Amino acid sequence: MTLKPLFLAAVAALSCTAAQAQTAPLKVGLMLPATGTFAALGDAIEKGFRLYVQEQGGKLSGREIQYMKVDDESDPSKATDNVNKLIKRDNVDVIVGTVHSGVALAMARAARESNTLLIVPNAGADAITGPQCAPNIFRSSFSNWQPGYAAGVVASGKGYKKAVTITWNYAAGSETVKGFTEGFEKGGGKVAKDLNLPFPNVEFQALLTEIAAQKPDVVFAFFAGGGAVKFVKDYDAAGLKKNIPLVASGFLTDGTLEAQGASAQGILSTLHYADNLDTPRNNAFRKSYALTYKQQPDVYAVQGYDAAQMLGAGLAAVKGDFKQRDALQAAMAKASVDSPRGKFTLSPQRNPVQDIYLREAKGVNNESRGVAVKALADPGRGCKV
Ligand code: PHB
């Protein structure tokens, strides 16, 4: 055999594997909470993600999607081991996760070190699109600062002067409160007291007594999932709801209104989504979600759906060839995402630049009362890439 046929055979073998790689399923690792206070949030994110893929015929740019799943239990102490199950054991191409900021910070570290593509579909930890940012790390949701800051702008705009804040003592709680304080104090208000308790505790009584003693004009709260249901009910049962208005980060009443019942009605909150946005895009999304899952979507479902849209935009730019990572990531970073929340783009730190709505809890919906802050971008402090 001369060298030429040998060479041609080698080329043929190589291009064959390259072609196979482009048509083989793309492995998506879903690291979300399936148990604990955030379990329902993880479920909605997964449903949203799968819905978008299903709407594309089960494939993104010709690539079937294969899902691998890990329950992260919203437990930061298990986060590194859990994310390594996806990166090292399952060899996934992309990781989508998670809800809890502390868990997501460990995921971002592992993703950066292994250069695995990561799309965060909820956790707001400011550092993920700040000091910990990297070209392979994207967020389809928000930074903790964003809804907090907007709530501060709303509360000061209503003329409230004295606020008390209450939250869980972890990254999402403290950063959301920091955003609120910045917006509120810029508008002339003053935060008199920050109250908190460990995540995911729900023993609120002593703190509610403290709120009554402080007699603020307004209370700002960040809780989510099961903890938010209990807080809203306890706030009402303690007799505080009728005396001291709550202005909350929208997670307090998102995906929770049915369980909160009358206690949540009328609560004002700020978030990048409202259920009743009357746009063709949101109406089509809600209809498709309700038909598929026999339940209504919430903000978490939107964030999961948009994570899939972002991945889809990247894959489309490289015609499904995931190996072209730089081009894929560049396309994701430049994408204009046609979200049910309204179109958004990404900041240079790869966090959504988005309108933050003022919402009022009405029945089982968080209804928009207009835009609280238009095209709000997280400052992305400390991001070097
Ligand atoms: C977070 O930990 O970043 C977090 C959790 C639940 C939410 C929002 C943020 O609803």
Angle formed by the axes of helices 101-114 and 171-186, nearest 10°? 110
DSSP state of 8: H
Instruction: Kindly report, residue by residue over 23-71, the tens digit of the pLDDT.
Output: 799 999 999 999 999 999 999 999 999 999 999 999 999 999 999 999 9
Say yes or no: CB of residue 372 within 6 Å of ligand 1: no
Specify the residue for token string 């148990």. 35
Cis peptide before 98 (omega within 30 of 0): yes
**What's the CA gap between 6 and 85, in Å, rounded?**
40
Helix (H, G, I), strand (E, B) or coil at 265: coil
DSSP state of 6: H
Task: Show the tokens assigned to 167.
Answer: 């939250």
**What's the CA gap between 176 and 140, in Å, rounded?**
17
- Residue 352 carries which side chain, given as an amino acid letter? P
Instruction: Kindly report, residue by residue over 339-360, the tens digit of the pLDDT.
Output: 999 999 999 999 999 999 999 9
By most ligand atoms within 8 Å of CB, the mutation choice from 100, 126, 199, 231 for ligand 1 is: 100
Q: For residue 16, what pLDDT band results from cuts at 50, 70 and 90? A: very low
Say yes or no: CB of residue 123 within 6 Å of ligand 1: yes
> Which atom, in ligand 1's list, is nearest to the CA of 225?
10
Residue 120: what pLDDT? 99
- What percentage of the chain carries pLDDT values higher than 70? 94
- 226-259 per-residue burial string, b: 16 or more CB within 10 A, e: under 16: bbbbbbbbbbbebebbeebbbbbbbbbbbbbbee
Ligand 1 center to residue 45 CA distance, Å? Answer: 12
Say yes or no: CB of residue 143 within 6 Å of ligand 1: no
How many other β-carbons are positioned within 10 Å of the β-carbon of residue 200? 18
E strands present in 198-318: 218-222, 246-249, 268-271
Ligand 1 center to residue 156 CA distance, Å? Answer: 24
- Residue 172 carries which side chain, given as an amino acid letter? A
By most ligand atoms within 8 Å of CB, the mutation choice from 38, 103, 252 for ligand 1 is: 38
CB 298 within 8 A of CB 225: no
Say yes or no: CB of residue 273 within 6 Å of ligand 1: no
Say yes or no: CB of residue 366 within 6 Å of ligand 1: no
Q: For residue 1, what pLDDT band results from cuts at 50, 70 and 90? A: very low
The H-assigned helical ranges of 117-247 are: 145-157, 171-186, 205-214, 225-237
